[in-house]
Amino acid sequence: MKRAGAGLGTRNTKMMIATISAVVLLTTGTAAPWWRHNSTVELIQGTPHKTLMQLTGTASGHFTGYYICNGKRTTVCGILPTTLTESGISQCEFRKVKPNDTLVLQVRDSGYYLHFAALAGTRGVRADTATGNWNAGAIKR
């Protein structure tokens, strides 16, 4: 009986090492960008997201109010339309100077959207994220 030569076993070993090396290179080449992408997503989710609040309504109508951002209350006043953008807003309240004006609050925040109109006869609008998404109501007094 003839045995396989030593060269044949070495050749198979070299082919197997080359195949494994190619698989490792291809896998790490595609895994690294995937890993970096997931790390970026986690980093974005870990940072406070931007909240966009747009106040519209009666043209040139005046308003006063506040918003709470990362536990800090910020007082605002202005003329419609106005846009405010901050990270970490959890609550806001805006009041019309003239009760017969209309004040519309639109909030865009991390996939949530709120649209609320404080019509004539109401004092304004109050909104918060106490339930995990934005909720709003009219201020009557």
Burial group, residue 90, by CB count within 10 angstroms (0-12, 13-18, 19+): middle
Handedness of CA 97, 103, 108, 111 (dihedral sign): positive
Which residues partner with 83 through β-bridges? 54
Query: Furthest-apart CA pair in the chain: how many Å?
Result: 107
Tracing tokens 């190619």 back to the chain, one arrives at 22
Q: What is the mean pLDDT of the chain?
A: 79
Using alpha carbons only, give the angle 85, 140, 128 rounded to the nearest 5 degrees: 35
Distance of CA 42 to the CA centre of its chain: 12
Per residue in 64-95, pLDDT (tens digit) is 999 999 999 999 999 999 999 999 899 999 99
Residue 117 exposure: Cα atoms within 13 Å on the Cβ side: 7
Is residue 124 helix, strand or coil?
A: strand
Instruction: Identify which has the larger pLDDT, 30 or 12.
Output: 12
Domain ranges for the chain: 1-47, 50-139
Of 6-10, 32-36, 102-106, 115-119, where does mean pLDDT reach its minimum? Answer: 32-36
Q: Is the pTM of this model over 0.85?
A: no
pLDDT at 82: 97
d(CA 96, CA 78): 10
